[in-house]
Amino acid sequence: MILPSTPPLWIALSLMLIAAVMFNGIRSFRQKILHLMLAAVFLLVAADKSGNERFFITLREGETISLDNYVSHRADAHNVDLTLKRFEIEMHTDGRTPRAFRSYLRINGDRPAVLSVNDPLAIGRYRLYQSAYEKHFYFVVNVNDTLYEATFGDTLPSPSGPVALDAYDHRSRRFRMMKNDTAFYVPLETPVVKHHTEWYISPQGEHYSSVIEMAEVSGLRWLLAAGLAYLAVMAWDFWLSHKRRRKK
């Protein structure tokens, strides 16, 4: 059922065009066809905008997700695991401007695939698009001789309860840790004891996360065909009108 969730604007526009044709607001036969085709385009847009799924996935390098957790009952992308092996930013020769953003993926652990801007990847009736990226700094956090890899926002276990790695203050060169809304600080690469726990944090390096937009594309071929047909009919109509005027 499409109508209840359809963006009303596109429906309203197409109804106005259909009404203009039906009630003789447009008299020329060619113009009637043109306006009805435009109404069809708007209806297809409305159907696509309301019927097709669209969502974002953020994948860290090395992380695997199952698309089962994202897609709805439409079966094409079920039982598909997606792993981000590596994210790459290729730069132009000036060293400042990116030339390409690429996600090196593995589908179901064995099928390699490269996703980049302007080069989407098809999985069933879904398409994956390289949308954005995030850069994370990772740290090795030693909590009472147990090592954890963490980035900002991650929560770490400690004998006195969970503690979040919140931020790094560059001026004082120390990390802000949050425990139950109370902050305490751990200097970079300096062991300290806080809340009866020994802490030591050292930098590990930077990792990327790839932000991938996933969209269902069923019916879009019809929309493309309708849009191009509309342009063709418009060109035909203009050409005939031009010829008629020249004859006059």
- 22 to 61: interface string for another protein, x by CB under 8 A: -----------------------x---x----x-------
Please tell me the count of residues contacting another protein according to CB under 8 A.
36
Q: Give the span between the Cα atoms of 212 and 60, in whole angstroms.
A: 11
> Among residues 62, 98, 112, 161, which is the contact residue for another protein, using CB under 8 A?
98
Binder to another protein among 118, 145, 182, 221 (CB under 8 A)? 118
Give the nearer residue to another protein in terms of CB position, either 118 or 180: 118
Q: Which is nearer to another protein, 3 or 132 (CB)?
A: 132
x/- mask, another protein, residues 203-242, rule CB under 8 A, reads ----------xxx-x--x--xx--xx-xx--xx--x--xx
User: Which one of the spans 103-111, 129-137, 179-187, 199-207 is the region binding another protein (CB under 8 A)?
Assistant: 129-137
Which one of 101, 139, 175, 200 is in contact with another protein (CB under 8 A)?
A: 101
Closer to another protein by Cβ: residue 98 or 157: 98
DSSP 188: B
What is the contact surface with another protein in residues (CB under 8 A)? 45, 49, 54, 92-94, 97-101, 116-118, 120, 127, 129-131, 213-215, 217, 220, 223-224, 227-228, 230-231, 234-235, 238, 241-242, 245
